């Protein structure tokens, strides 16, 4: 018998990273690890689904970093197709149902990891459950969509929502030869950007042949005589559709946690301390898409469903649950994406985020190129930068451009973490050579311009 038992709820990035790291810290004689997963897959890249649908990735197997068998070989008692249906915090046990046999049983724990992930927002609209309407959260969803696409003769696709998932799915469907319409609520696509930057994305999407319909709230999904989707309807219009993909965001899957009395934040995610321990519970950790994280720029908590955070959380939880010590300081809100050859990146606060937390700011937007203007293949890039009024502290950066744009946001992500001022940024020693950057990197050009705005504002 192992000295103690660690139970993990959820077999994707956060849960299995935690299990694996705990196993590296302690062997099976010291720590028994039991992990429950409702679905058929472990440790997979949900972020890769659009590229699978678009045909860039051959199959779901490519998106699986580690299979159930591989986890079991590492001494993890992994129970697939088994859903945890209750957490008894006082009794230190979880109730789980075998989804094949229907049997339920209790499993005790000394330490618990909650990694229940997120689910796609699916508004209760008429027709939302009709055949041909798909979310793309898990590999099963991806496979279901691909099955629909292979069976469907029509070539009209409507993507509802134009955030990361929405634009990536628009690209995927375009690559598969569909006429794609993106219908979204906001004024511009990519509401994670300020509208002036989102407008650049919209213009580019229009240029790619994607029909963009902004300011449009979907009111119902219309079905044909066969019961399948035939159109997406707003108050004013109908958009014919042979297939509909929902990309309207995700929300933390925290009903289990709520029922068990674990603390949730304003966005419905679990609240943890810096060691990723659920607040008020010494032996329960939580991470990945089901938690809220500290935003280091605004000082508030946010819900960000992103594989890279889930993996970090899992590592940290596993280290702590395995008797070590590690903390997650928080995020600055970095995200990168692309739609065809357009790269989109952001980090830190948008204008409205800054306003919401009482920060006054100045902004500057510049146009430059990814490499020296005279070097072949130089492509335009727009960089917007926000700095706090008076102090000049960097608050956020948004970038829209072609090749070489997105990952430049990392410069700002590190600068935000270090709480640099934009004037300090103007002196950053960034890599320069004509194939890689103009002599003033676009991020430096933006920093210079916003530094001037800070000075002018202070005068």
| Residue 251 contacts residue 304 (beta carbons within 8 Å) | no
Residue with tokens 């990361």: 164
| Residue 128 contacts residue 221 (beta carbons within 8 Å) | yes
Residues 33, 411, 446, 447: which binds its own copies (CB under 8 A)? 411
**Residue 125 in contact with its own copies, rule: CB under 8 A:** no
Length of the chain: 459
Residues 137, 334, 368, 369: which binds its own copies (CB under 8 A)? 334
Residues 409, 422, 446, 450: which binds its own copies (CB under 8 A)? 409
Instruction: Taking the CA atoms of 271, 274, 277 and 283 in sequence, report the sign of the dihedral they define.
Output: negative
Least Å distance, CB 34 to its own copies, is 25
Among the candidate windows 29-37, 201-209, 239-247, 328-336, which touches its own copies by CB under 8 A? Answer: 328-336
Q: Which is nearer to its own copies, 102 or 431 (CB)?
A: 431
Q: Which is nearer to its own copies, 251 or 440 (CB)?
A: 440
Buried b (16+ CB within 10 A) or exposed e, 391-427: ebbbbbbbbbbbebbbebbebbbebbbeebbbbbbbe
Residue of 33, 113, 134, 85 lying closest to 290 (CA atoms): 113
Q: Which is nearer to its own copies, 289 or 441 (CB)?
A: 441
**Residue 449 in contact with its own copies, rule: CB under 8 A:** no
Residues designated as active site: 47
In whole angstroms, give the CA distance from residue 80 to residue 62: 19
**Residue 440 in contact with its own copies, rule: CB under 8 A:** yes
| Residue 152 contacts residue 242 (beta carbons within 8 Å) | yes
In whole angstroms, give the CA distance from residue 413 to residue 429: 15
**Residue 459 in contact with its own copies, rule: CB under 8 A:** no
Residues 133, 229, 335, 364: which binds its own copies (CB under 8 A)? 335
**Residue 400 in contact with its own copies, rule: CB under 8 A:** no
Least Å distance, CB 255 to its own copies, is 27
**Residue 98 in contact with its own copies, rule: CB under 8 A:** no
Least Å distance, CB 406 to its own copies, is 5
Q: Which is nearer to its own copies, 111 or 312 (CB)?
A: 312
- Sorted by sequence, the CB contacts under 8 Å of residue 317 that are 6+ apart come out as 14, 17, 18, 21, 22, 113, 276, 285, 286, 287
In whole angstroms, give the CA distance from residue 90 to residue 110: 11
**Residue 240 in contact with its own copies, rule: CB under 8 A:** no
| Segment 35 to 74, residues that bind its own copies, using CB under 8 A | 45, 47-48, 51, 56-57, 62-63, 65
**Residue 418 in contact with its own copies, rule: CB under 8 A:** yes
**Residue 432 in contact with its own copies, rule: CB under 8 A:** yes
Least Å distance, CB 426 to its own copies, is 8
| Residue 228 contacts residue 235 (beta carbons within 8 Å) | no
**Residue 10 in contact with its own copies, rule: CB under 8 A:** no
**Residue 413 in contact with its own copies, rule: CB under 8 A:** yes
Residue 187: half-sphere exposure toward Cβ, Cα within 13 Å: 8
In whole angstroms, give the CA distance from residue 267 to residue 319: 27
| Residue 220 contacts residue 125 (beta carbons within 8 Å) | yes
Task: Return residues touching its own copies (CB under 8 A).
Answer: 13, 45, 47-48, 51, 56-57, 62-63, 65, 164, 306-309, 311-312, 328-329, 331-338, 343, 345, 347, 372, 374-376, 404, 406-411, 413-415, 417-418, 420, 424, 426-437, 439-441
């Amino acid at each position: 018998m192992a000295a103690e038992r660690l139970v993990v709820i959820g077999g994707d990035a956060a849960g299995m990273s935690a299990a694996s790291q705990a196993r590296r810290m302690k062997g099976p004689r010291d720590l028994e690890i039991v992990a429950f997963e409702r679905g058929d897959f472990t440790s997979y890249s949900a972020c890769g689904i659009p590229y699978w649908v678009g045909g860039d990735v051959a199959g779901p197997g490519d998106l699986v970093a580690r299979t159930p068998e591989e986890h079991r070989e590492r001494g993890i008692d992994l129970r697939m197709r088994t859903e945890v249906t209750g957490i008894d915090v006082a009794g230190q046990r979880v109730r789980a149902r075998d989804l094949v046999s229907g049997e339920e049983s209790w499993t005790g724990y000394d330490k618990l990891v909650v990694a229940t992930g997120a689910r796609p927002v699916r508004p209760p609209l008429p027709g939302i459950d009709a055949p041909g309407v798909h979310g793309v959260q898990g590999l099963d969803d991806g496979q279901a969509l691909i099955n629909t696409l292979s069976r469907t003769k029509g070539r009209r696709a409507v993507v509802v929502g134009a955030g990361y998932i929405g634009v990536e799915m628009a690209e995927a469907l375009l690559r598969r030869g569909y006429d794609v319409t993106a219908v979204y609520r906001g004024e511009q696509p990519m509401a994670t950007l300020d509208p002036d930057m989102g407008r650049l994305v919209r213009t580019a999407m229009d240029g790619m042949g994607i029909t963009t319909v902004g300011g449009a709230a979907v009111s119902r999904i219309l079905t044909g005589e066969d019961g399948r989707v035939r159109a997406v309807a707003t108050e004013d219009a109908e958009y014919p559709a042979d297939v509909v993909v929902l990309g309207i965001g995700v929300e933390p899957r925290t009903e289990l946690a709520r029922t068990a009395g674990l603390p949730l934040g304003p966005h419905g995610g679990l609240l943890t301390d810096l060691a990723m321990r659920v607040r008020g519970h010494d032996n329960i950790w939580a991470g990945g898409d089901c938690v809220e994280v500290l935003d280091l720029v605004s000082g508030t908590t946010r819900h960000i469903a992103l594989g890279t955070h889930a993996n970090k959380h899992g590592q940290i939880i596993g280290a702590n649950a395995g008797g070590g010590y590690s903390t997650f300081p928080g995020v600055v809100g970095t995200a990168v994406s692309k739609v065809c050859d357009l790269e989109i990146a952001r980090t830190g606060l948008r204008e409205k985020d800054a306003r919401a937390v009482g920060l006054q700011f100045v902004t500057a937007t510049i146009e430059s190129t990814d490499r020296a203007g005279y070097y072949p293949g130089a492509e335009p890039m727009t960089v917007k930068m926000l700095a706090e009024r008076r102090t000049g502290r960097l608050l956020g950066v948004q970038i829209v451009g072609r090749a070489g744009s997105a990952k430049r946001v990392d410069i700002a992500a590190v600068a935000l973490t270090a709480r640099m001022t934009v004037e300090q940024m103007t002196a950053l020693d960034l890599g320069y050579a004509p194939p890689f950057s103009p002599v003033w990197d676009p991020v430096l050009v933006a920093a210079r311009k916003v530094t001037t705005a800070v000075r002018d504002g202070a005068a």
